[in-house]
Structure formats: C-alpha cells, structure tokens
C-alpha cells in the first residue's frame, strides 16, 4: 500500500479536502492520510510514498523530517532542499536571467547585527552605504520587505527617503529588500501545479484579505494572459516547484513578477473561493497520485546550473522543453 501524507499546521479546509479527494478516487494500492510522526530514527525510512508539505517552513523539526524522507525515496511536494535554500532576492535574480520582468530591486544589509555578531563581523560592508545611488536605482514609491518572508509581515510601502529610513529602523535584524512599486492596472495570482497546470486568478492585494480574489473580473487581453501563463511556468520549472503561486502586477501591459516564493500557497476555501478551491484540491490530488504511482527514485537535489554562467543555456533549454508540452499544459482563468 502506497500512502500519501499531508503535513499541515493551522489551516483547516484544504488538508482535509485533499485527503478526502484522493481517497474518493478509490485507487487500488493508494491511500491518503494526515502525516503522523514522532522522533525520526536515522535508519528508519518514513512510511509515505508522497508527502504534501504545508508547514515545514515554520517548523524546523518538520523540515529535518522531510529531508530525511526525500533521501529515503519519499517524494515531497515541494522539495525541502530547494525550499530551504530559496530566498526572494535570488528568485528575482533568477527571473531576470529567464527574461521574466521584475521591478528594480536591491537587497540590503541588516539594520541591527544578527544575533551573535558585532561590528567586527561586518568589516567587509561598505560604510556608509550609497543610499542616494540605491534610491536612484529603485525609485519611489517602493516596498521594503524581508528577503525571506510571507503573509505581508514586516512589509512597508514607502514613498520617500524619510519614510524608508523610518521603516528600515524597524526592521530589527531582518535582511530586507527594497523594490520599486508597480503601478498596476491588473494583478494576477496564479496557481501552478506540477510545473504544467496554471490557474490564473484576478486578484487585488489592496482589498481586505477575504475580498482579494475577484469574483466577477473583467475581460483581459489574451496576449497578456498568455505571457502570464508562460512566465509562471518558466519560473516554477526553473525553481523546481510542483506547487506554487506566482503573482504578477501589470503596468503598461507588462506583467512584473513580484512574488513567487509561495511553496505552501494559500488554499483556504474562505479566502480563495469555492471555484479556485475546487481547482487546487483536484489538481494537487491528481499530482500526488501521479507521483505515488511513479517508480520511486531519489530526486535531483542540485541546482548549480541556475547559479553560474550556465543560466543562459538553461533558459534556452527551458524554452525548447515547453514547446512540445504546450498541448499538455492546462490553463484556466478564474
């Protein structure tokens, strides 16, 4: 019997619906359940063929458990090795290499020394920083946000240097990025599943959380939606994410990728709405079953091709691969 486990935290609607969906398929030799684990023994492989991870970014114990599981043949959605190494500034750099539009962005040193360090730890840091040059490159208004964060925590919308420094002074020992704000007319949040299925959801981050997914969106230019689809796939294929959301803010017809480090994306029924919820439950269930049926093997854990001069050939390869898959790619516009 192959078991698919769902590892989750405080969320209520998605984990249960996913388990129910998989079990309702009545597949011979495949069952789904909530993950159960205690102390993880070094020489004891996990009992799961596939684990859908919704919480390890918040719980280091779970991340260690999942890495051990991958090394012992479990398929984890998403790969915990890549997720552990990821950060938003690297994502933006990778997007630029892939030809995906991103706003001007700068990563900044910590305002306060990280715990256990002093000014002697920062002797390679330029002082004073060239703030005028940074502000000229990024521009205002802009967003100051953590290089590794989510849920709009510690995010500040700043309109001038005074507002920036006031926000920066509150950033504690977080590593922050400053990114030019996109004056968007359209905004999309896209579910991407299995690096081939895209569900484009009109979204407005300026609204209250429960109203951000637009229920009656206007008609959008088909060329714009096609580019959003293409860029979302390119990013997730390069990052190796089997489950992600990619957010685009559209200014003057150009979709700028501004947030695509969401390997445990919001899938709560009450925030995304019934139609989007049904789509994500069905597609993640199908993906988990597909991986459970595949022959077990240890995943490729290296990503060096995206960290050096091989990035350009990787871009060309990704384009070549995407062409024959066009017919297989599913895109839905909520």
How far is residue 163's CA from residue 92's CA, in Å, rounded to a whole number?
Answer: 24
Q: Is the pTM of this model over 0.95?
A: no
Q: Could you tell me if 283 and 197 are in contact, meaning their C-beta atoms sit under 8 angstroms apart?
A: yes
- Note the pLDDT of residue 334: 58
Query: Which phi and psi (to 5°) does residue 209 adopt?
Result: -50, -45
Q: Which helix (H) or strand (E) is 105 found in, with range?
A: strand 105-108
How far is residue 242's CA from residue 304's CA, in Å, rounded to a whole number?
Answer: 19
SS3 breakdown of the chain: % helix, strand, coil, rounded to 5? 35, 20, 45
Which residue ranges form the domains of the chain, and what is each CATH number?
2-85 (3.40.50.20), 104-180 (3.30.1490.20), 186-262+302-333 (3.30.470)
Full strand arrangement of the beta sheet holding 2-7: 30-34, 2-7, 50-53, 75-77
DSSP state of 304: G
Q: To 5 degrees, how large is the angle CA 205–CA 143–CA 247? A: 40
DSSP 239-256: HT-SEEEEEEEEETTEEE
Residue 23 exposed, middle or buried by CB count within 10 Å (0-12, 13-18, 19+):
middle
Tokens of 15: 């984990």
> Could you tell me the mean pLDDT of each successive run of 10 residues in the chain, 334 residues long?
96 97 97 95 91 95 94 92 88 94 96 89 90 97 89 89 96 95 96 97 90 90 97 94 97 96 94 95 98 72 48 40 44 58
DSSP 130-164: -HHHHHHHH-SSEEEEESS--TTTT-EEE-SHHHH
Q: Could you tell me if 76 and 285 are in contact, meaning their C-beta atoms sit under 8 angstroms apart?
A: no
């Amino acid at each position: 019997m192959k078991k698919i486990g769902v590892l989750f935290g405080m969320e209520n609607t998605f984990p249960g619906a996913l388990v129910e969906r998989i079990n309702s398929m009545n597949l011979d030799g495949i069952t789904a359940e909530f993950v159960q684990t205690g102390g993880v023994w070094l020489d004891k492989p996990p009992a799961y063929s596939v684990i859908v991870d919704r919480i390890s970014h918040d719980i280091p114990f779970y991340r260690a458990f999942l890495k051990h599981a991958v090394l012992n043949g479990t398929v984890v959605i998403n790969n915990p090795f890549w997720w552990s190494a990821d950060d938003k500034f690297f994502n933006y750099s990778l997007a630029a290499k892939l030809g995906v539009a991103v706003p001007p962005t700068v990563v900044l040193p910590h305002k306060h020394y990280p715990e256990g360090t002093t000014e002697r730890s920062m002797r390679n840091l330029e002082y004073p920083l060239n703030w005028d040059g940074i502000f000229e490159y990024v521009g205002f208004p802009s967003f100051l946000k953590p290089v590794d964060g989510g849920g709009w925590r510690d995010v500040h919308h700043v309109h001038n240097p005074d507002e920036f420094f006031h926000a920066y002074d509150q950033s504690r020992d977080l590593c922050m990025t400053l990114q030019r704000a996109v004056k968007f007319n359209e905004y999309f949040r896209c579910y991407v599943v299995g690096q081939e299925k895209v569900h484009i959801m009109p979204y407005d981050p300026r609204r209250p959380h429960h109203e951000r997914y637009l229920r009656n969106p206007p008609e959008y230019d088909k060329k714009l939606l096609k580019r959003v689809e293409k860029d979302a796939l390119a990013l997730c294929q390069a990052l190796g994410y089997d489950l992600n959301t990619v957010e685009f803010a559209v200014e003057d017809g150009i979709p700028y990728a501004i947030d695509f480090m969401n390997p445990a994306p919001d899938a709560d029924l009450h925030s995304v709405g019934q139609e989007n919820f049904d789509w994500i439950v069905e597609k993640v269930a199908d993906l988990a079953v597909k991986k459970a049926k595949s022959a077990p093997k240890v995943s490729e854990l290296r990503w060096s091709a995206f960290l050096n001069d091989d990035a350009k050939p990787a871009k060309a390869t990704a384009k070549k691969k995407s062409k024959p898959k066009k017919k297989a790619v599913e895109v839905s516009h909520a």
